[in-house]
Amino acid sequence: MVDVDELLRTTLKRVAEPGDPTGVADAIRSRLAAGDTGAPDPQSSGTWWLPWAGAGLVVAVAGGALGASGMLGRPAPVVAETMITVSATTSGLDCPAGSPVTSFAAGDRVLAIARSDDGDFLAVRDGYDYGRTVWLPTRSVALDAVGVDEMPVDGCLQPVVTRESSPERPPAPQPQPEPGPKPKPAPAPGPAPDTTAPTPLQWWADPSTIHCPSNVGPAFPGTTTIHLLASDNVGVASATVAWSGAASGSGSMTASSGEWRFSYTAPATSGAITFTVTARDAAGNASAPRSVPVTVTCLF
Amino acid sequence: MTAQVKAQVDLDHFVAHEYPQVVAAVGLITGNRQDAADAVQDALVGFLSKPPTRPVANVSAWITVVASNRMRDQYRRKDAERRALAKVGIDPESMTDAVHSLDVDVMAALSELPLQQRQVCTLHYLMDQSVDTIADGLGVTPGTVKTQLHRARKALAARLRREDHRG
């Protein structure tokens, strides 16, 4: 009788050859800043965006302008996006004719992906914040390939709310809407109130088994660190942790190296402890809670 | 832009903590370790430059599947010899003494599974991801993942029994 589970588990782990992470993050950053989308060249098959054809998985590209037609296993249509060169120092705006959120110097190269209705502004990917799109006046850039008229038209449906300290920013005029599904803000030049809660990305305890004080030694760690990695459209401002078990309690997590951490020392009794972590942004939106299990073992 | 999704992954964290294993997984799924790192980096660039609109908590599974699919598509365009070599799953030259012959049997059996089954097997057995976690990463239901795992187990057990009796 073959124990397939055990066999696979041990074999795969023995045979696997981990990749070397050295320099990878920097290489990826420079590719992103150069407008690389990681897509295969247009002649090659376009199916790789659809991980499981027929299995119900649809992976779409972000950004309505890029179209829904690229996601059904056919090569994506050639989208009129082009690299542009910034010809004069200019501000990146949160919307066409909106508030400045970042700045570009003459000679900067960025990827333009859409234009405003009137063609006076181009949407570009902010090379320093890959998820963000900012707008540049068309007159201060030079396009590499396509003409402005060939770019897909897009608007500023969801103003990007950025750094709170931005001096030009008027106070948010509207009250907080009800939480829940995010209403699509009407096109407006001003910032919208932040109603987007942070999203927990990863949460874990390291180590997940700790030992009570009488056991602690080189091989028996008595302290664990609870980690939480979360993202937010504006920024995660705080994170808290609460735990159940024999001795319940709660605490604030500390930001460190881009994640939130909380150090916990085992009590004197064995048992399972469930830590619940929650991230909050400056507007008070709380993420969904996530559970991190930890086992306390007292051997003697 | 309708949904300006912020990059849903911390690049440095991902590279330091998950990248090595994702490359290992893609290498196992595709049988080509040399190209696995490039494919994973391409998928990562794709994820960050045009994030999927669906929120993905299990980024490592998403990257693993996208990268291995992409490599499959590339193989399809290459000659049969290359494909046949990749199918073996392991480059015999690269095998150390510590890797015993059972590994070759298991990897050969794995390489005969359909791609999706290889993907869930690797995510589950190499990366220790639960059925629910895998389902999140791939955007399918847990039931689909369970079915694929079940079929893979069954096929592998049958294949490995055959190896047992071979001699």
Structural domain count of chain B: 1
What residues of chain B lie within 8 A of the CB of A32, using their CB?
45, 48-49
Per-residue pLDDT tens digits for B45-76: 888 887 777 777 788 888 998 888 888 776 66
Q: Which of A2, A66, A201 sits opposite B8 (nearest CB)?
A: A201
What residues of chain B lie within 8 A of the CB of A55, using their CB?
116, 138, 140, 144
Residue B127 lies in a domain: yes
Which helix (DSSP H) or strand (DSSP E) does residue A293 occupy? Answer: strand A290-297
Identify which has the larger pLDDT, A269 or A61: A269
Identify which has the larger pLDDT, A71 or A253: A253
Minimal C-alpha gap between B88 and chain A (Å): 13
Asked if domains A59-163+183-192 and A199-297 share a fold, the reply is no
Identify which has the larger pLDDT, A132 or A112: A112
CATH class in words for A59-163+183-192: mainly beta
CATH topology (fold) of A199-297: Immunoglobulin-like (2.60.40)
Q: Give the range among A9-13, A76-80, A187-191, A252-256 with minimum mean pLDDT.
A: A76-80
- How is chain A split into domains, by residue range? 59-163+183-192, 199-297
In the DSSP assignment, the letter for residue B122 is I
Q: Which of the four pLDDT bands, split at 50, 70 and 90, describes residue A27?
A: confident
What is the residue-wise DSSP string for A228-261? Answer: EEEE-SS-EEEEEEEE-SSS-EEEE-EEETTEEE
- Is residue A219 predicted with pLDDT exceeding 60? yes
CATH of the domain at B94: 1.20.140.160
Check: CB of residue A46 under 8 Å from CB of residue B66.
Answer: no
ipTM over 0.85: no
Q: Cα separations (Å) of B142 from A54, B130, B132, B133, B149?
A: 16, 9, 5, 8, 10
Tokens representing A238 are 């705080």
| Identity at A164, one-letter amino acid code | E
Per-residue pLDDT tens digits for A45-97: 333 334 444 333 333 333 333 333 333 333 333 345 677 888 888 888 878 87
**Domain span holding position B151:** 11-166
Q: Which residue of chain A comes nearest to B124, CA vs CA?
A: A9
> What's the confidence (pLDDT) of residue A231?
83
Check: CB of residue B66 under 8 Å from CB of residue B102.
Answer: no
* CA A83-A86-A91 angle, 5° bins: 120
Residue B87 lies in a domain: yes
- Is residue A205 predicted with pLDDT exceeding 70? yes
Which helix (DSSP H) or strand (DSSP E) does residue B28 occupy? Answer: helix B19-30
Which helix (DSSP H) or strand (DSSP E) does residue B24 occupy? Answer: helix B19-30
Q: Which residue of chain A comes nearest to B53, CA vs CA?
A: A62
Of A288, A291, A278, give the one whose Cα is nearest residue A179. A288
Tokens representing A113 are 């992906």
Between positions 82 and 101 of A, the ones with CB within 8 A of B are: none
3-state secondary structure of B15: helix
Residue B4 lies in a domain: no
Residue B79 lies in a domain: yes
| CB atoms A19 and B54 under 8 Å | no
pTM for the structure as a whole: 0.41
Identify which has the larger pLDDT, A73 or B83: B83
> What's the confidence (pLDDT) of residue B47?
84
| Identity at B17, one-letter amino acid code | H
Determine the longest span between alpha carbons in chain A, in angstroms: 76
| CB atoms B49 and A48 under 8 Å | no
> What's the confidence (pLDDT) of residue A278?
93
State the average pLDDT over residues A248-266. Answer: 87
